[in-house]
Chain A
């Protein structure tokens, strides 16, 4: 299943909150920028079910202002 990376833009003043929320999600790796209001999010899921569930959770996060996709890797087991 895919590994994808995104730039996640938080609402003003909510960068740390977003960092904490994303870090707690299974399959998510988060790297905050040191000096800008943006975080890198990398998602890694094993099955399409997991991917769907994760997408749903991401959609529900209130502190995300904009999630812009950057790359996707079709890392299926073939």
Chain B
């Protein structure tokens, strides 16, 4: 099939591109026809070897097919067999293979000796790490060492990290960057349902009549899912409502854009519940059978001080008490603080309240990066619980994830300080269960959580923490109030190991840099937003001495004397680890699919029971774990009932005042993956979005005589910086607000952000702080 001349080769590739599109079209439009002569002569395979994998980038978790030619990954297409993306693929997904081939890939370790980086062998670097960990533990205790990973860790990476640190070394100093993006979603699920992760799935999109996007710029952040929403609008005329603080590509593509003032989503959600009750739209039977009402502590603070701690004190309340609480949230009252007209609040409530409309709520960072992140998650669940619109096809409160395995690795494997693969460290039975599978004495696992992410970096600053191993993440770009934490890493007596694929501001502060194998250069699994676990095989060789994060950890564990627990063989270690990991989740509530299934299918959704994925949890028609002989069973809670929470509106910790008179919001752009360490090395993406900028409202810009491209100075209580202005371009903030993306390591906006967090989830709020804006 393949011929040697370039033009024939291009012609052949073009035909394959046509074939891919026809296959995707056939999946999306059953019965679609193309003219016969156009289908003739299309290639069936050629020399390209197509292998399936989940996409490397976002939490949508599209199934892609990677084309490998002569040992190099050269092409990507959406996998038409994947129910996630049905053959589609976005611009980042396509470029994922290119991100492996940047010119400055790290190919061997570097160790800092006398202030200079010296090239070393992998063996020497791993010896140094193991020895340094052992001496740190000897000198300062086991809680002086830590690991900081990522929602881009594969499941085996996170699993061995947790086993080494929690099970073998005996410290709960295990955290991951998903604390910065998903922690409020987790605490939201746990407080409302007692069980983490969405009850529904992406197939809800094909059933819902109305989509309410809560502070979620899906068009840029979850592009393939947004395409699926738009596709449903073309086919079925569904409604898309964008509820946000800024006008984005999503707002422009939606049927209605409703703008609210920062932090007041809390008040609006309560106002929707007020309206639902007032209009008599409560699903009485569902609520009386399946829900309790509770309230928790208020005025909890914002975690701004070191060693801040908080424990909520839930108290049961009656429906009448809840109703009385909502009296403060009549739409006409909420209009005054939120800027959302009572009419628009009632408009949203009417869709939620209409028994003939199926509603899907979608959210991501807008609700999670919030100093009341747990509360706003609870409040959106309240709306769905009051109306009984939950756990059925098309009725779905759906918390999306940002990273490819924030769910699979961080939430399911449990790479957070309080978590274990099954359950939490505070629970004796859960510790015993983990210790048995890990083959360690149960006393090894401490019963108290230690440092969450912000506190981990604060501990490094204070000197309580002496050793940190960072894998697949770039905290020297992403930590809020960054300067404090950057300075902390440079202090005498701190030892930092960084595993990554390219040099970043985080490798700049490392004592040892390890080159990692990326994505399909090794074998692994990711778990996406809809509880889908997806497997990928090793398709190409990693460059130089680059090694998977899993194997780096195993090598160090063995050097530290844990050969018994890290018995895995190099050729079969991923299979051995996954089989061991599955034991933690055995049972109807969280069973994971066998590896053979993951290898042959485009992923499987847990709970995987009797050879079947579960699409809708807590609904006895679909979920075999339901056992109360009712239609619904929220079995995460001891009494099988979900909780409707009384949570008030409370203001943000830092609001604009006379001196710092604007709101600052930060976020992402479609071209770049997070901190841009991979996507900025792809020429097309870099060119499309070469540097950071600050978006202003046109009237504010006019008042300050600022035009696109002009330098603007931003100053907060933490620092000051200059950025070029963007007026009326991609996104338009409201008056008195500015937006800055965080992908540009040369314009570190997190030097200006505030490290306030949700007291329950400990997730920082990157969306709100006060800033002064001047023409520079």
| Chain A residues within 8 Å of B95, by CB | 72
Output the nearest chain A residue to B96 by Cβ-Cβ distance. A72
Query: Which residues of B from 63 to 96 have beta carbons under 8 Å from A?
Result: 67, 74-78, 87-91, 93-95
Query: Which residues of B from 668 to 711 have beta carbons under 8 Å from A?
Result: 683-684, 687-688
Q: What is the minimal beta-carbon distance from B87 to any residue of chain A, in angstroms? A: 6
Question: What's the Cα separation between A44 and B11 when bound, in Å?
Answer: 10
Beyond A66-B227, A69-B88, is A3–B25 a contact (Cβ under 8 Å)?
A: no
Contact A35 B21 (CB under 8 A): no
Beyond A40-B21, A42-B21, is A73–B34 a contact (Cβ under 8 Å)?
A: no
Return the contact of B6 from the options A32, A65, A74, A77 (Cβ within 8 A). A77
Contact B25 A5 (CB under 8 A): no
Contact B234 A4 (CB under 8 A): no
Contact A75 B28 (CB under 8 A): no
| Chain A residues within 8 Å of B34, by CB | 31-34, 40
Contact B10 A3 (CB under 8 A): yes
| Chain B residues within 8 Å of A38, by CB | 25, 28-29, 32
| Chain B residues within 8 Å of A74, by CB | 74-75, 97-98
By CB atoms of chain B within 10 A, which of A38, A41, A55 has the most? Answer: A38
Return the contact of A70 from the options B88, B234, B688 (Cβ within 8 A). B88
Contact A70 B77 (CB under 8 A): yes
- Tell me how many residue pairs across A and B have CB atoms closer than 8 Å: 127
Judge whether A52 is part of the interface by a CB distance below 8 angstroms: yes
Output the nearest chain B residue to A35 by Cβ-Cβ distance. B33
**SS of A interface (majority):** strand
Judge whether B553 is part of the interface by a CB distance below 8 angstroms: no
| Chain B residues within 8 Å of A48, by CB | 683-684, 687
Residue tally, chain A, CB below 8 Å to B: 35
Beyond A42-B14, A42-B18, is A70–B38 a contact (Cβ under 8 Å)?
A: no
Contact B33 A75 (CB under 8 A): no
Judge whether B9 is part of the interface by a CB distance below 8 angstroms: yes
Query: Which residues of A from 1 to 56 have beta carbons under 8 Å from B?
Result: 2-7, 9, 29, 31-38, 40-42, 44, 48, 51-52, 55
Q: What is the minimal beta-carbon distance from B567 to any residue of chain A, in angstroms? A: 40
Interface string of B139-167 (1 = CB under 8 A from A): 00000000000000000000000000000
Contact B687 A70 (CB under 8 A): no
By CB atoms of chain A within 10 A, which of B25, B31, B90 has the most? Answer: B25
Question: What's the Cα separation between A29 and B687 when bound, in Å?
Answer: 25
Contact B77 A72 (CB under 8 A): yes
Question: What's the Cα separation between A34 and B29 when bound, in Å?
Answer: 12
| Chain B residues within 8 Å of A66, by CB | 227, 230-231, 234
| Chain A residues within 8 Å of B78, by CB | 69-71
| Chain B residues within 8 Å of A36, by CB | 25, 29, 32-33
Question: What's the Cα separation between A37 and B224 when bound, in Å?
Answer: 19
| Chain A residues within 8 Å of B93, by CB | 69
| Chain A residues within 8 Å of B97, by CB | 74
Return the contact of A71 from the options B29, B33, B89, B684 (Cβ within 8 A). B89
| Chain A residues within 8 Å of B31, by CB | 35
Output the nearest chain A residue to B78 by Cβ-Cβ distance. A70
Query: Which residues of B from 1 to 49 have beta carbons under 8 Å from A?
Result: 6, 9-10, 13-14, 16-18, 20-22, 24-25, 28-29, 31-35, 38
| Chain A residues within 8 Å of B22, by CB | 31, 40
Q: What is the minimal beta-carbon distance from A2 to any residue of chain B, in angstroms? A: 8
Question: What's the Cα separation between A51 and B98 when bound, in Å?
Answer: 16
| Chain B residues within 8 Å of A37, by CB | 234
Contact A71 B28 (CB under 8 A): no
Return the contact of A6 from the options B21, B38, B683, B684 (Cβ within 8 A). B21
Judge whether A58 is part of the interface by a CB distance below 8 angstroms: no
Output the nearest chain A residue to B17 by Cβ-Cβ distance. A5
Judge whether A61 is part of the interface by a CB distance below 8 angstroms: no
Contact B16 A73 (CB under 8 A): yes
| Chain A residues within 8 Å of B33, by CB | 33-36
Contact A52 B89 (CB under 8 A): no
| Chain A residues within 8 Å of B25, by CB | 7, 33, 36, 38, 40
Output the nearest chain B residue to A74 by Cβ-Cβ distance. B74
Contact A71 B77 (CB under 8 A): yes
Q: What is the minimal beta-carbon distance from B20 to any residue of chain A, in angstroms? A: 4
Question: What's the Cα separation between A66 and B441 when bound, in Å?
Answer: 57
| Chain B residues within 8 Å of A4, by CB | 17, 94
Output the nearest chain B residue to A67 by Cβ-Cβ distance. B227
Contact A33 B29 (CB under 8 A): yes
| Chain A residues within 8 Å of B21, by CB | 5-7, 31, 40-42, 70-71
Question: What's the Cα separation between A65 and B31 when bound, in Å?
Answer: 22
Contact B75 A72 (CB under 8 A): yes
Q: What is the minimal beta-carbon distance from B131 to any residue of chain A, in angstroms? A: 42
Contact B74 A73 (CB under 8 A): yes
Return the contact of A35 from the options B24, B32, B227, B231 (Cβ within 8 A). B32
Question: What's the Cα separation between A31 and B25 when bound, in Å?
Answer: 12
Question: What's the Cα separation between A6 and B32 when bound, in Å?
Answer: 16
Question: What's the Cα separation between A51 and B94 when bound, in Å?
Answer: 15
Question: What's the Cα separation between A69 and B34 when bound, in Å?
Answer: 18
Contact A68 B88 (CB under 8 A): yes
Contact A7 B24 (CB under 8 A): yes
Q: What is the minimal beta-carbon distance from A11 to any residue of chain B, in angstroms? A: 10
| Chain A residues within 8 Å of B24, by CB | 7, 70
Question: What's the Cα separation between A35 and B34 when bound, in Å?
Answer: 8
By CB atoms of chain B within 10 A, which of A52, A65, A68, A77 has the most? Answer: A68
Question: What's the Cα separation between A35 and B540 when bound, in Å?
Answer: 41
Question: What's the Cα separation between A73 and B46 when bound, in Å?
Answer: 14
By CB atoms of chain A within 10 A, which of B10, B17, B75, B97 has the most? Answer: B17
Q: What is the minimal beta-carbon distance from B660 to any residue of chain A, in angstroms? A: 36
Q: What is the minimal beta-carbon distance from A41 to any residue of chain B, in angstroms? A: 8
Contact A69 B32 (CB under 8 A): no
Contact B230 A75 (CB under 8 A): no
Q: What is the minimal beta-carbon distance from B125 to any residue of chain A, in angstroms? A: 32
| Chain B residues within 8 Å of A65, by CB | 230, 234
| Chain B residues within 8 Å of A6, by CB | 21
Beyond A3-B17, A40-B21, is A33–B94 a contact (Cβ under 8 Å)?
A: no
Contact A40 B18 (CB under 8 A): yes
Question: What's the Cα separation between A22 and B360 when bound, in Å?
Answer: 35
Return the contact of B13 from the options A33, A41, A75 (Cβ within 8 A). A75
| Chain B residues within 8 Å of A32, by CB | 34
Output the nearest chain A residue to B22 by Cβ-Cβ distance. A40
Question: What's the Cα separation between A77 and B20 when bound, in Å?
Answer: 22
Task: Give me the interface of A with B, judged by CB distance under 8 Å.
Answer: 2-7, 9, 29, 31-38, 40-42, 44, 48, 51-52, 55, 65-66, 68-75, 77
25 A-B interface contacts by CB (under 8 A): A9-B234, A29-B18, A33-B25, A33-B29, A33-B33, A33-B34, A35-B31, A36-B32, A36-B33, A38-B32, A40-B34, A42-B18, A44-B14, A52-B684, A52-B688, A69-B94, A70-B20, A70-B89, A71-B16, A71-B89, A71-B94, A73-B13, A74-B74, A74-B97, A75-B10
Nearest first, the 5 closest Cβ-Cβ pairs linking A and B are A71-B77, A72-B94, A5-B17, A71-B20, A5-B21
List 7 additional contacts besides A5-B18, A31-B34, A40-B25; criterion CB under 8 Å.
A34-B35, A38-B32, A40-B21, A42-B14, A74-B75, A74-B98, A75-B10
